[in-house]
Amino acid sequence: MKPYYTNGDFIPERDPYAPEIQPQLAVLCLSGSLGGLELNSLKFAGWMQERGWRVTFFAPPATPLAAWAEEWFVPLETLAVRRGPAMPLAAWELKQQLERLQVDVLVVTQNKDLALATLVKTLMGGHLRIIYQQHMQLGRPKRSLVHTLRFRLVDAWLTPLPGLAREVARHTHFDTAQLHTVPLGLPLEQFAPLTRTRAEARQELGLPLEGPLLGILGRFDAGKGQDFVIQALHHLRQQLGHDASLVIMGEPTRNEGDEYLRQLQALVKQLGLEQRVHFRGFRANPAVFYQAIDVFVLASENETYGMVTLEAMAAGVPVVAAATGGTVELVQHGHTGLLYLHRDVAACARSVRRTLLDPAATRLRVERAQLERWCYSHHRQCALTEDVIQALCAAPAAETPSRRARRALAINAVFAAGVAPWLGKVEF
């Protein structure tokens, strides 16, 4: 079974006989959830594999992420999550796995996994190149001694947007010469050409065949703003007199229960929208969702990158989005979509009505958005990442380390020397 994100079209691959270094890659994502970050990490591993790289994906055992890796035939190694005082145990186990697989480059996609990765690099004597593929915003500044030493063991930092790159430069001591802007990609072939009519897509999802349909996609979480979109739909219908329905696709965050979903269902009942709001479960291939809707609404509190926004734009769906986080870089107001002030229900409803009532202007925005979608192709993401990997592999990692890296390794080695003899007695 081919992974869902390919369609058999030609994919530029690396020549296995080319006279260049071809390191063994590993992608580390120790998350028990299954959201955008996790799926994007797994997709990236699969895409690199298709391009001829030897890739191993690391995920926690008995998680949706591990199950999807096996479903998509991405080589999988499992690693139990141990944080805090138990983290050295995980570091020793990961070190043994990487050495057995002869991994040269480790791509880390979660910020909280960097502590583990840099400890492993220390245990391996610096003979590991670490690439941090940023998916989330930094949040608070990370200029402490601990963060600085940790980041100095990172060989390259890939950030998806110029604004996030400026944030890294402003809030860390990371060497900006090793900071690269590499947009996270998506398989554009998945969204065009259309494989279903709108009526067929709605029928497949069990949605109303007639009338305007809004859509929001993402895990059920207060930060994603599904409650806000329900309120915007109510305002659109009651205050602006525009008939419409809404489909909410997603699933609860793993290990966090379904309390928020029950709150959403209660809100729908309270507003009398039981026949207008439709909940649908998560789908690994979201193309049918975009083919079914007329307007995509993003209401996230602070979306770092907004892969779903790019998916909607690639699918030719008009976008109405909250002006927060990285969305303001992805959506140009009035040019490729419409933005509204975060949590302003009336403003969101007006933008939806404007989208529905002026199809000519809406179609023009959609066309402009699709012209720019090639910047976010997964082929481009992989090619830019390959450039970084090849540059890192041009010289042995431990042969000529920088002065700062030597200092960071020396300090970390003090800890490693103390725990390694004890860890060696541990059986996994």
Q: What is the pLDDT of residues 202-248, one digit of tens each?
A: 999 999 999 999 999 998 999 999 999 999 999 999 999 999 999 99
Token pair belonging to 145: 């001694």
Inter-residue contact 207 to 245 (CB < 8 Å): yes
Predicted local distance difference test score (pLDDT) of residue 35:
81
Predicted local distance difference test score (pLDDT) of residue 285:
81
Residues in the chain where the model's pLDDT stays below 50:
1-19, 398-400, 420, 422-428
Name the burial class of residue 374, with classes exposed (0-12), middle (13-18) and buried (19+) by CB atoms within 10 angstroms of its CB.
Answer: exposed
Predicted local distance difference test score (pLDDT) of residue 72:
95
Strands (E), 145-210: 156-159, 179-181
User: What gap in Å lies between CA 361 and CA 338, rounded to an integer?
Assistant: 11
Name the burial class of residue 242, with classes exposed (0-12), middle (13-18) and buried (19+) by CB atoms within 10 angstroms of its CB.
Answer: middle
Sequence letter at residue 230: I
3-state secondary structure of 146: helix
Question: How many Cβ atoms sit within 10 Å of the Cβ of residue 166?
Answer: 13
Sequence letter at residue 29: C
Residues of the chain with CATH 3.40.50.2000: 25-185+378-423, 189-376
Of 273, 217, 278, residue with least CA distance to 249? 217
Domain 25-185+378-423 has CATH 3.40.50.2000: yes
Predicted local distance difference test score (pLDDT) of residue 154:
98
Q: Mark 195-228 as b/e (b = at least 16 C-beta within 10 Å).
A: eeeeeebbeebebeeeebbbbbbbbbbeebbbbb
CATH class label, 189-376: alpha beta
DSSP 194: -
Cα angle 91, 97, 102 (rounded to 5 degrees) comes to 120
Contacts of 408 (CB under 8 A, 6+ apart): 149, 150, 152, 153
The angle that helices 87-101 and 403-423 make with each other, rounded to 10 degrees, is: 100
Of 191, 193, 213, 161, residue with least CA distance to 314? 191
